[in-house]
Structure 1
Amino acid sequence: MEKLIEIVEKEAKILANPIMLMLQKEIKFEEKVIKYLQDEDVATAVSQILASLRASIRSMLLLASQDLDSMMAKDSLPIARSVIEGCINATFIMAQGKNVANDALDHTVFKGFRNTDRSAGKGAHKVSLHRIPKIEPHDDLSELIEKFTNKKGRAKNWTDLSVPQRIECIEPVFGRTCATSLSMAYLMVYSDASEIIHSSVTGAKIANGTIAFSRYPRTQNDHMTIQKSHIEGALLSSFIALDSVLRAFCKYTKFTSFEVTLDKQLNQFKDFCENDFQ
C-alpha cells in the first residue's frame, strides 16, 4: 500500500498548479508561461474547493500511515467522500460556468448570515444561537435570503441538482470518460461513508467488517484485511476523482502541457492496480 500512498500524495501535490494558476492568473510551468483567461467567479469557486481537497488528502494520508489495528481506517471513507464530492462540484462548476459559480459564491454569503441566527429542537428542549448585535440584511443580502430560502423557511443548497445530476451535466462538456470516472469514484465509497458519518449500526458493522454476507472476520489477519480495504478504497476512489477534475481543468483552461504530468501519474496508478494491488 506504500506505493498507492505515494501516488495519491503526489496527486495532492500537483493540485498546487491549478490552484496557483487560478489565484495568480499566471504561472510558469516547465519553462512556459501559462495564463488563466477564463471566468473569474469560476476561478474563485474552484480554487477554494481544490485547496480544501488538498488538505483533506493530507488528512487521509495521515490515517493511511497509522496502525491498521487501531480501527481508524474507517474514517478515511468520509474523508474520501468529501474529496470525491469536491471533485464533482469543481468539475460541475467548470462545466456550467459563471452562473453556477456565482450561485456557489452567493450561497457562502447567505450561509454566513444564516449561521448568525440558528435553532435546533422543539418545545422545552429547543436551543437557539443569536448574534448580538443582530445583523440587519442590506438589499443585496435580502435578495440572497429570498433566493436560498424555501417556502418553509429552510435553507436551500447552492444547487438544486443532486450529485448524480451534476455528473450528468459534466458529460456533455468534459466527456464520457470524465463523467464515468466520477461516477465510479462516487459509487466506491459514497454509501458506506454516509453510514459511517451518521454512526448508524450499519456504519459500525461496515467499519468492523461484520456486514459481509459471508463469514465474519475471525482472526487478527481478517480484521487487518478489512481495515486495509477501507484505506485502499478511500485512496483509490480519491485518485480517480482527482484525476478526473484535473483533466477537466486542463480542458477548461487549455492547459494541455499539464496533461503529460497527469498521464505519468495515471500510468503509475494503472501499474499499481495491475501488479501490486491485492
Structure 2
Amino acid sequence: MSEEPDLATDTKKGAQALIGFVSTEVQLLIAGDPFIRQTNIDRVCKLHPVYASIIEDTISLTLLARDYRINNSYIIVRALLERLVNFCYLQFCEQSEFDSYLTYSKSKAVRRLDRTIEGGSSQASVRWSGVVDWASHPDLKAAYDKFTSINGREITRWTKVSLPDRAGLVESNTPRASLLLPLLMIYSDASEALHGTLYGSLFHLGTYDIGTVPYDQASLLKTTFSHSSALALMAGGAVNTLMRMCAMIRVPSFDDLAKQSTENLRSVSTAVGLLPMRKSNSPSNRDAPTSGESVS
C-alpha cells in the first residue's frame, strides 16, 4: 500500500503523478531519437519515422491528459500502441514481412494520385493532373501491383498477422515485455470512439460501468481520474517495453535509457500504491507491474 493514499489512481494527485511519469518517458524517447536515426541496425534506422511518430503521440497524450480530455486520449493512445507494436514487431519478423511494410507505403503513394469514393448515388474523386513515367519508377509499379487483388481491388493491409499476434511475437522475444495488456485495456474502446458509436462517446464517463456508474460529481471525477491513470500507465508501460526492446537488440545508449525508464515506472507505481514500498536490502520487491515490466 502507498504511504500516501491521496495518490491513489482514482484521485487527481494520482492521475497527475502518472501523467508526469509519461512526461519523463517523453524526454527519454527524445534522448534516444538520434541513436535510432543513426544506428547501423538496418531495420531500426529505416523505421526512424515511426519512432518519431511515437514521440509525437506520447507528447499529444500528455497535453490531452493534463486537461482530462479522456475520450481523445484513448484515440491517441490507440495510435501510439499500434505504431509501437509495429516498430517492435518489425525487429523480429521475417524479412518478407519487413519488406511488405515498406512496400505498402509506396503502394499508398501511388493510389493517392487517383482516388474515388462512392456512397449510394454520389461519388467524389480526386486525381493528380500530371503524368507519371512508370518506366522510371518500377518500384512504384511493383508496389501497386503487390497490393492489388486479382479482382483489381486495393489490398488495404500490409500484413496478415493480427495486431495481438504482432504484440505476442514481441512479448515472446522481449523478457517481461507487456503489450497485450495495454491493447486489451485501450484498443477496443478507442476504436468505438473513432467509429462514432454511442458507446464510444460515453464509455469514458462511466456510463457503461455496470454496478459502478457514477451518480454524482465526486464519483464522476473518480472515474475521470481512473481513466486518466489507466491511459498513462498503459502508454508509459508500453514505452518502457519499447525502451527495453531497443536495449535488448543493442541500439546504442538504450541500455541506460531503459534502466531509467524502468526506475521511473517503479517509482510512480510505488507512489500510487500499485507496488509496495521497496525495502533497501530486499531484492524481492524489485518486480515491476505486469502492465509495464522492464529490465533491472
Fold match (TM-score > 0.5): yes
> How is 1:13-162 mapped onto 2 (pairs within 5 angstroms)?
13-23=27-37, 25=38, 36-39=39-42, 41-45=43-47, 47-66=48-67, 68=68, 72-96=69-93, 98-135=95-132, 137=134, 138-152=137-151, 153-162=153-162
Q: Is the 8 A contact 2:28 2:261 kept in 1?
A: no
Query: Per residue, is there more helix in 1 or in 2?
Result: 1
Rounded to whole Å, the distance in 1 between the matches of 2:256 and 2:70 is: 33
Rounded to whole Å, the distance in 1 between the matches of 2:88 and 2:228 is: 25
Aligned length: 257
> 1:3-31: per-residue Cα shift (whole Å, max 9, x none)?
222221111111124321132x3xxxxxx
Q: Percent identity?
A: 23
CA pair 277-195 structure 1, distance change in 2 beyond 3 A: farther
Q: Is the 8 A contact 1:74 1:231 kept in 2?
A: no
Segments of 5+ residues of structure 1 without an aligned counterpart are: 26-35
RMSD: 2.2
- Relative to the length of structure 1, the TM-score reads 0.84
| Larger displacement relative to structure 2 (226-235 or 130-139) | 130-139
Q: Is the 8 A contact 2:61 2:76 kept in 1?
A: yes
| Shift of residue 254, structure 1, vs aligned partner | 5.3
Matched, 1:214 2:228: no
CA pair 174-106 structure 1, distance change in 2 beyond 3 A: same
- Relative to the length of structure 2, the TM-score reads 0.79
Runs of 4+ aligned structure 1 residues displaced above 4 Å come to none
> How is 1:143-182 mapped onto 2 (pairs within 5 angstroms)?
143-152=142-151, 153-175=153-175, 177-178=176-177, 181-182=178-179
Q: Is the 8 A contact 1:167 1:182 kept in 2?
A: yes
Rounded to whole Å, the distance in 1 between the matches of 2:251 and 2:44 is: 15
Segments of 5+ residues of structure 2 without an aligned counterpart are: 1-14, 275-296
Amino acid of the residue matched to residue 59 of structure 1?
A: S
Amino acid of the residue matched to residue 49 of structure 1?
A: V
| Shift of residue 136, structure 1, vs aligned partner | 5.1
